Structure 1
Amino acid sequence: MSNLSRFGLSTLNDVISVSNSSKKSRSLVGIAGIVALATLISKVFGLIREQVVAAAFGIGPVVNAYAYAYVIPGFLFILLGGINGPFHSALISVLAKRDKSEAAPLVETVTTLVSIILLVVTVLLVILAAPCIDLLAPGLDKISRDIAVQQLQIMAPLALLSGLIGIGFGTLNASDQYWLPGISPLFSSITVIIGIGAIAWQLGEQVNAPQYLQFGGMILAVTTLMGAILQWLAQLGAQTSAGMGKLRLRFDWRIPGVSDVMKVMIPATLSSGMLQINTYTALFFASFIPNAAASMRYANFVVLTPLGIISNMILVPLFPVFSRLAAPENWIELKVRIRQGLLLTALTMIPLTAIFIALAFPIVQVVYERGAFNLAASKEVVPVMMAYGLGMFFYLARDVLVRVFYALGDGETPFKVSIINIFLNGVLDFLFYKPFGTPGLVFATIIVNVTSMLAFVWILHRRLRGLPLVEWGVILLALTGIGIISGSVSWWFSWLWEKSLGHGNLILQLLELSLASLVCMGVFVLLALPLRLPELNILVSRIRGKLAR
């Protein structure tokens, strides 16, 4: 093992300081545990929400319409309002270096500026809803288009709420609060579950009758908006109690730190926006493929559930550390932390990729196949989910590297790379959507993420005066091979189970899926142990600690 590796992994449980305070913060592992638990709870409710929507509407017009109506508000919500989004990252990178007493005026000023801009965007979305849908989905049928226009007008305020929630995430994490930001998205899921569950209970199978489609679409949009409002209000109360700013207008743009926040926030927003544009370029071409948007939505959610949990575990505690190691004299440790981020990503994402590819069909059946979501719908979603699973590592590894650039105060480089990839993604979508159908659109996105990741690695290699790329590359290739073997064993176990016991009911499907997944993870860990990776030891010891409690 290299000296760099030995040095780095002894620091994983080090205590990090918050701003200039002498108070000790939680360890990285402790923070990761809090974030993981909170995110897990939110994701469980999110999964139930998707199951309710799938059971009520299947892959019909309401969900297809919602996929497009949510494009712009959802784009802003993911871009600005998510944990690890540019607003969150910009505020963390600045507040982590300042005294807490400076936080409230800074946050209030940034909130005022952002709110004014996003309020204008909200009004424009309401007025221009129809042209926006026509631009995003020219191949959409009339029924789905009409539903989508109504849904977009209802959800337009998500534009404003996205900025407020993103600022809340950043300020709460900067004040060493991780539980509420992680768990707050469940408010949105709960409102959708209650709203859709109520109309499905009242109307039954008639919920998909032509006369009720518009009503069902409206309820889906209204509950989405109400959930976002509840999420913001919960964060606002905690933010005020922590002394990190109240809901007030403040126009003092000369407050120290405002320019620093905007210096990171603007290019970071543009860069992340370019990435999201790649996703919605795929939706543009998906409008010409029947049920493609709904299939992508369902498949993407299943993959993003564990990906979201693990990404928060890795990125949330590591990003403040990246920021504190930005000075050249700290680059040795910064390189160690980059290795930790990449290898922890590989150790979690590669076995999950193996599971999603080997067990795609039983996963979709267990999660979605009930009510209006039938066997035919499962057959459409399965190949799309397998394609999404293939890109998990590249998606998260790219995010780890982007956070390093943000920590270095450089939002321009990710932005420039993203601009190039927009054109690459558009070309690949055009080339792939006809011969490969919906999975082809996902393959295009994967290639874009691979290109971004490689570009970021090479630029950091030059900027940080060398990275041990050969060492890292050999480890990643070995883990990839182990992933292929573990996935193959898992698939064989699943095949043998179905041949011997069948999978005719939910209990058998759950047992098959659970045992086959455990087989995959077990084989992966056993084969990875000879590599003697300290990151693997950290993961294993952490899991043992949780199970022992």
Structure 2
Amino acid sequence: MAVDKKTSRSLAGIAGIVAVATLISKVFGLVREQAIAAAFGVGTVVNAYAYAYVIPGFLLILLGGINGPFHSALISVLAKRDKEQAAPLVETVTTLVSGILLLVSVGLVIWADVCIDLLAPGLSPEVRAIAIGQLQIMSPLALLAGLIGIGFGTLNAADQYWLPGISPLFSSLAVIIGLGVLFGVLGGQIDAPQYVQLGSMVLAGGTLIGAILQWIAQLFAQWKSGMGTLRLRFDWRIPGVMDVIRVMIPATLSSGMLHINVYTDLFFASFIENAAAAMRYANFIVLTPLGIISNMILVPLMPEFSRLASPENWPELKGRIRQGLLLTALSMLPLTAVFIALAFPIVRVIYERGAFQMSASQEVAPVLIAYGFGMFFYLARDVMVRVFYALGDGETPFRVSIFNIFLNGLLDFLFYKPFSTPGLVFATIGVNISSLVIFLWILNRRLRGLPLGEWTFALLQLTGISFIAGVVSWGISWIWQQTIGDDNLLLQLLELGLGMTVALGLFFLLAVRLKLPEVNLFLSRIGQKLGKRFRKSS
């Protein structure tokens, strides 16, 4: 953007800001999930909330998330325009989006029962009734999702990364405070007759209030940056509006098709007891580091992909694609080793308190193993999608997503009975693998050849190292349980800490020997960040 070039930051600086802000938000999110687990365990309220949140959450992630289509479309257009052109453009897009999403919010209130029945025909009457009420409470999230997404893109285009990264913590704080008030009002009696009904309303209401606070915080920063106000504009001829729409519509449809797979998973999960709650808890553990690292990788790389979109820059673009894939592997594969080898102690340490007992840990741990297996494929697919957006192509990801909807439904049908809840996760992993392979094949043709053999060999080497690290870490955890035990939280923390240290340390010790430039880049950035923190503290 021609706006304030003097304030532009390096890729490493942006990644650092995004990482710290996202980390803070994720920590609060983790505390929120722990509070929910302690309050409700794996049971009626959380199962109902998992379904009630599907559509509002889908819109919040799709439209309101960093790297979502609204965010990507606004950055790609605003980056090419001067600041004085930004406010009218943003206000016009906001007016159009708000009008559409307001109708969606009203529709969710009116047809909440229809939505829940379509999503989860296998729910019990009690869970169904609670889910309908929660969905009606959270229906305004549809409108807020669009406004938050526009705020993310606008602030990033104005070179502001801290507030967009940290603002999601408002949602977590609202839920945590709401549950605390509920606990105090009922005197800690989680078996009180009204506990389930009040708890379900507090969970949904806290989510809504948090989103409102997130939007308000972004709105003030947006005004201060001169990037638009709440003024209604209906002039679609303003330069750049149609450019935003041309990127936004196919990108939204493409990402939306991907999230339809979540609907498909939950449709089949409604026929498995407690499956939705188990998937929610396990998924959040994985999404905590995944969200931080994905923002570190995707936010700085998106402008670079766009800058190198011209054919004369394709050799450098190929290098950036390789960098994105290998940085994804270096960040995801060691975590895969950790989540597969140490799934049970991880779940116990994070969730096992209050209403969340050992039996709940035994339900969630296998699902966490499945999610851990698919971390690399999820983020690598996202890297490839951003390359297509940078090339001005939103149609290819959309078409691939349509194909994958049918593939996901087929895999869900084949896997959910023999493998229960983890089978639904493996179906999604199959979809991500399919997407990654198709995207690489298309880019190989479009960019006049990619060194796929070289990239594949490097990725296989890192995968082998991840396997070794996971086996050794699991062995150490097993020995600890047999000799010392894990009967209390302190022993569980020590076991987990030792296992994670061994897995991560062994992975990077072996990865350095591969002499890949991305390994040195990855470790040097970590060293720089740690060095800065050390100098600041001393």
- Work out whether the TM-score is over 0.5: yes
- 1:310-459 matches, within 5 Å, as 310-459=293-442
Moved >4 Å (runs of 4+): none
Cross-structure match for 1:192: 175
C-alpha displacement of 1:396: 0.2
User: What is the rounded CA distance, in whole Å, between the counterparts of 1:38 and 1:243 in structure 2?
Assistant: 23
- AA in 2 matched with 1:320: P
Give the secondary structure class of the aligned counterpart of 1:256. Answer: coil
C-alpha displacement of 1:204: 5.4
- 1:133-172 matches, within 5 Å, as 133-172=116-155
- 1:48-447 matches, within 5 Å, as 48-203=31-186, 206-447=189-430
User: Relative to structure 1, is the Cα distance of residues 144 and 545 closer, same or farther in structure 2, using a 3 angstrom cutoff?
Assistant: same
User: What is the rounded CA distance, in whole Å, between the counterparts of 2:212 and 2:244 in structure 1?
Assistant: 25
User: Relative to structure 1, is the Cα distance of residues 294 and 209 closer, same or farther in structure 2, using a 3 angstrom cutoff?
Assistant: farther
Conserved? CA contact 1:64–1:294, under 8 Å: yes
User: What is the rounded CA distance, in whole Å, between the counterparts of 2:275 and 2:167 in structure 1?
Assistant: 30
C-alpha displacement of 1:508: 1.4
Cross-structure match for 1:27: 10
- AA in 2 matched with 1:430: F
Conserved? CA contact 1:126–1:153, under 8 Å: yes
- AA in 1 matched with 2:105: T
Cross-structure match for 1:470: 453
Deviates more, 1:328-337 or 1:44-53: 328-337
C-alpha displacement of 1:205: 5.7
C-alpha displacement of 1:207: 2.8
C-alpha displacement of 1:518: 1.1
Conserved? CA contact 1:35–1:313, under 8 Å: yes
1:266-318 alpha-carbon deviations (Å, 9 max, x no partner):
00000000110001110001000000000000000000000000000000111
User: What is the rounded CA distance, in whole Å, between the counterparts of 2:325 and 2:196 in structure 1?
Assistant: 45
User: What is the rounded CA distance, in whole Å, between the counterparts of 1:207 and 1:158 in structure 2?
Assistant: 28
User: What is the rounded CA distance, in whole Å, between the counterparts of 1:283 and 1:209 in structure 2?
Assistant: 29
C-alpha displacement of 1:23: 2.1
C-alpha displacement of 1:20: 6.7
User: What is the rounded CA distance, in whole Å, between the counterparts of 1:204 and 1:408 in structure 2?
Assistant: 58
User: What is the rounded CA distance, in whole Å, between the counterparts of 1:50 and 1:219 in structure 2?
Assistant: 14
Conserved? CA contact 2:380–2:436, under 8 Å: yes
User: Relative to structure 1, is the Cα distance of residues 285 and 22 closer, same or farther in structure 2, using a 3 angstrom cutoff?
Assistant: closer
User: Relative to structure 1, is the Cα distance of residues 428 and 203 closer, same or farther in structure 2, using a 3 angstrom cutoff?
Assistant: same
1:26-63 alpha-carbon deviations (Å, 9 max, x no partner):
11111111100000000000000000000000011100
Conserved? CA contact 1:192–1:224, under 8 Å: yes
Cross-structure match for 2:526: 543
**Aligned residue pairs: how many?**
532
- AA in 1 matched with 2:442: I
Deviates more, 1:346-355 or 1:491-500: 491-500
User: Relative to structure 1, is the Cα distance of residues 83 and 369 closer, same or farther in structure 2, using a 3 angstrom cutoff?
Assistant: same
C-alpha displacement of 1:494: 1.2
Give the secondary structure class of the aligned counterpart of 1:104. Answer: helix
Conserved? CA contact 1:207–1:216, under 8 Å: no
Conserved? CA contact 2:17–2:162, under 8 Å: yes
- 1:457-536 matches, within 5 Å, as 457-536=440-519
C-alpha displacement of 1:538: 1.7
- AA in 2 matched with 1:66: Y
Gaps of 5+ in 2: none
C-alpha displacement of 1:431: 1.1
User: What is the rounded CA distance, in whole Å, between the counterparts of 1:443 and 1:164 in structure 2?
Assistant: 33
User: What is the rounded CA distance, in whole Å, between the counterparts of 2:83 and 2:392 in structure 1?
Assistant: 20
Cross-structure match for 1:3: none
- AA in 1 matched with 2:344: F
- AA in 2 matched with 1:292: A
Conserved? CA contact 1:95–1:174, under 8 Å: yes
1:441-497 alpha-carbon deviations (Å, 9 max, x no partner):
000000000000110011111111111111100000000000000011111111122
User: What is the rounded CA distance, in whole Å, between the counterparts of 1:253 and 1:284 in structure 2?
Assistant: 39
1:153-202 alpha-carbon deviations (Å, 9 max, x no partner):
00000000000000000011111110000000000000000001221233
C-alpha displacement of 1:326: 1.3
C-alpha displacement of 1:328: 1.3
Conserved? CA contact 1:295–1:384, under 8 Å: yes
Deviates more, 1:496-505 or 1:126-135: 496-505
Instruction: Give RMSD over aligned pairs.
Output: 1.1
C-alpha displacement of 1:507: 1.3
- AA in 2 matched with 1:311: S
